[in-house]
Amino acid sequence: MKISEQYWEIFSNHLKATLSNFNLPDQEYEETVAFIESAKKDIVEWPDDLTGRRDQQPVCVYRRYALDR
């Protein structure tokens, strides 16, 4: 998917907040987070900067909004 570590952290935080909002039981919460974390090595491919390319700004409005939070 070629996203950066920073985008992964944003996604991960949103996922955890969403799961908490739905009041998942602890076991289901932990299993879901573990499953998603197991895919991280296949998803995170860019260097740890905002775009993965130091010469360009993020083009997605949602991403820009999420990074400003």
Q: Looking at the whole model, is its pTM more than 0.75?
A: no
| pLDDT, tens only, 49-69 | 555 454 444 444 444 445 555
- Residue 42, pLDDT score: 87
44: left (phi over 0), alpha (psi -120 to 50) or beta: beta
Q: Which residue has the tokens 């130091």?
A: 54
- Residue 65, pLDDT score: 47
| pLDDT, tens only, 23-51 | 999 999 999 999 999 999 888 886 655 55
**Cα gap 60→7, rounded to integer Å:** 12
Type of residue numbered 27: Q
